[in-house]
Amino acid sequence: MLIRRIKCLRSLGTRYNSSHYVTTPIFYVNAAPHIGHLYSAVIADAHCRYQRLRNPERDVRLCTGTDEHGTKIQQAASLYGVPVAKYCDDISERYRDVFRSASILQDDFIRTTEERHKRAVAHFWRTLHSRGHIYSAAYSGWYCVSDETFLTDSQLRLDESTGTRHSLESGHPVEWTEETNYMFRLSQFQDDVRHWVKQEARIRPAKFEKILLDTLSEPLPDVSVSRPSNRVHWAISVPDDDSQTVYVWLDALVNYLSSVGYPNETFSAHWPPAQQVIGKDILKFHGIYWPAFLLAAGLEPPGQLHVHSHWTVDGQKMSKSKHNVVDPVQAAQQYTMEGLRYFLLREGVAHSDGNYSHVKAQRILNSELADTLGNLLSRACAKSLNPGQIYPSAKPEHLADLLRSLEAAKRLQESLLQLSERCESHYECNHFHLVADTAMAALHAANNFFESSRPWTLKAGAAESNQPRLETIIAMTMDALRLCGIVLQPIIPQLATRLLDKLSVPTAQRGWNYLAESIATNPANLGGSRQLDGHTSALLFQRILGESTAKEEHKPQPAKRSKSKKKERRETMS
């Protein structure tokens, strides 16, 4: 115990590692991807994109993939009358397609049916076994196929009318199971896991740390880590015992190791993961089983678990039976994938469930991406104001005059001065909604500045002497757009790229450090004017037309801030 405690403590120390390894859960292939799945992937992707932007020297690695073994996959395939392997290929490919179209920049897509993964599982099993953490025992209990887990009596709800039992948490039915299994000595890792959970910022948001600590305050039972092959045959065989297959959760968790080459020594260059993104429903597996398995195998547990809550649809849990499962491909036809990414990251908060509704998505995207961001770009690029199609330089005396005489100019400058620091601290906590909020606040300030400075009164045809002031107004506006474009790259990578392309910002100047070089931060060093990119449209995001807004389309669209949940979201738990 003492030796293990020492090892555990050592493994909890922060080891410098230039690699920043991030994972999503691997997705069950029993059904097609929905927006909840995409949400896990988009969070991890935005996190990685920010890390690359902020620390270009760091080796950021994102792994995602599909979880393909177990009874429920077997059942789904037979329901469709398709051979299991083919069924897995098809659904796995759908995940790849959705992630590709949502610009998930993954370094690896792992499937648990791949040979490299099976090798890793066999090695991991043998390691646990040879270290004495696995034993064989007769086991009986309630098994939930949907959740792929045994549940204790206190985790069940009895339906008096039918006499059937269901998981309290997920609502899925359970079945009584009596079999001889291999067991993992989870009970022996209680203190070590608790110690790991309690480390600063290990589990985020903090409410999930509390949930884990509550679970850990009761004695942990040992867990079954195998099933008889004649019951679950679509699984990996236990090494040296064909009569048993590896429990699907042990199989699935090892994907994080197989992706980085385990058991080849090279895996240690990436180990442990810096951050693992998971949904709240799989907290127990990642916050208790996983660190225990790793400690038992002599490996370091992950640096951080980022746990997110769920999406409901019009206030209801998404489920096939309610026919309310939102398909990201269909949603993207309405909003575009960038629009969907923006909505998920803008409206979702980790600590509580988010509600997905068409009305809300339409309102946010129209108000923020079309009106506040897109409209400002169109106005600054309008030929009537900007006939030369340039990103002009600001003229020092006009800039000084605007900042002196125009309240809106001062507010814009203040907002831009805070942009980098604020967004950095929000990104560091995966508070993407607050990054979007901050960028939108800056863009509102830019819209107000643009309106208040009345550039149309200075345009061509008016006195020639107005030109430098007009160019200074456009330069400040474009600078705000450029800075917000840099900041928003992790959230809406394609739109931000188009914005920066239009403004002819060189690719090498889109990193986080370029936020420091702006008119707001350094008015003395303004740079020369440059030509806008004529090949890129200034129409960034088309308003989404729906029944509710069709009539309003003819009215002018003022850039209004979305008030949705703003206050509540500001109070996000860290």
C-alpha to C-alpha distance for 106 and 45, rounded to whole angstroms: 8
In this complex, which beta carbon is closest to ligand MSP, that of residue 27 or of residue 99? 27
> Using the rule CB under 6 A, is 416 a contact of ligand MSP?
no
Instruction: Report if residue 36 touches ligand MSP, rule: CB under 6 A.
Output: yes
Q: Residue 211 is which amino acid? A: I
* 429 in contact with ligand MSP (CB under 6 A): no
Does position 211 interact with ligand MSP (CB under 6 A)? The reply is no
Strand partners, 306: 204, 277
Q: Which of 8, 20, 27, 275 binds ligand MSP (CB under 6 A)?
A: 27
Q: Tokens 């290990």 identify what position?
A: 202
Of the two residues 28 and 262, which places its CB atom closer to ligand MSP in the complex? 28
The whole-angstrom separation of Cα 541 and Cα 373 is 8
Q: Which of these ranges, 32-40, 178-186, 520-528, 566-574, lies near ligand MSP under the rule CB under 6 A? A: 32-40
Each residue 63-102 as x (binds ligand MSP by CB under 6 A) or -, in order, gives ----x-----------------------------------
* Least distance between ligand MSP and beta carbon 541 (Å): 25
When computed from its CA atoms, the radius of gyration of the chain, rounded to whole angstroms, is 27
| 28 contacts ligand MSP (rule: CB under 6 A) | yes
Size of the site for ligand MSP (CB under 6 A): 19
Three-state secondary structure call for residue 62: strand
DSSP state of 319: -
Tell me: does residue 108 bind ligand MSP (CB under 6 A): no
H or E stretch covering 308: strand 305-308
Binding status of residue 311 toward ligand MSP by CB under 6 A: yes
Binder of ligand MSP out of 144, 193, 197, 278 (CB under 6 A): 278
DSSP for 431-466 reads: -HHHHHHHHHHHHHHHHHHHHHH-GGGGSBTB-GGG
Residue from 8, 11, 21, 39 in contact with ligand MSP (CB under 6 A): 39
Q: In sequence order, what are the residues at sequence separation of 6 or more whose Cβ sits closer than 8 angstroms to the Cβ of residue 404?
A: none
Q: Which residue is nearest to ligand MSP (CB)?
A: 279
What is the rounded (10 degree) CA torsion for 260, 345, 317, 62? Answer: 0
Residues 262-281 as b or e (16 or more Cβ within 10 Å = b): beeeebeebbbbbbbbbbbe
Residue 318 binding ligand MSP, by CB under 6 A: yes
Note whether 350 binds ligand MSP by CB under 6 A: no
Contacts of 498 (CB under 8 A, 6+ apart): 536, 537, 540
| 37 contacts ligand MSP (rule: CB under 6 A) | yes
Site for ligand MSP contains 279 (CB under 6 A)? yes
User: Given the rule CB under 6 A, which of 51-59, 249-257, 382-390, 447-455 is the region that contacts ligand MSP?
Assistant: 249-257
Q: Does 52 bind ligand MSP (CB under 6 A)?
A: no
What are 461's two structure tokens? 């045809």
Q: Is 118 in the site for ligand MSP (CB under 6 A)?
A: no
The site for ligand MSP (CB under 6 A) is made up of 25-28, 36-37, 39-40, 67, 252-253, 255, 278-279, 281-282, 310-311, 318
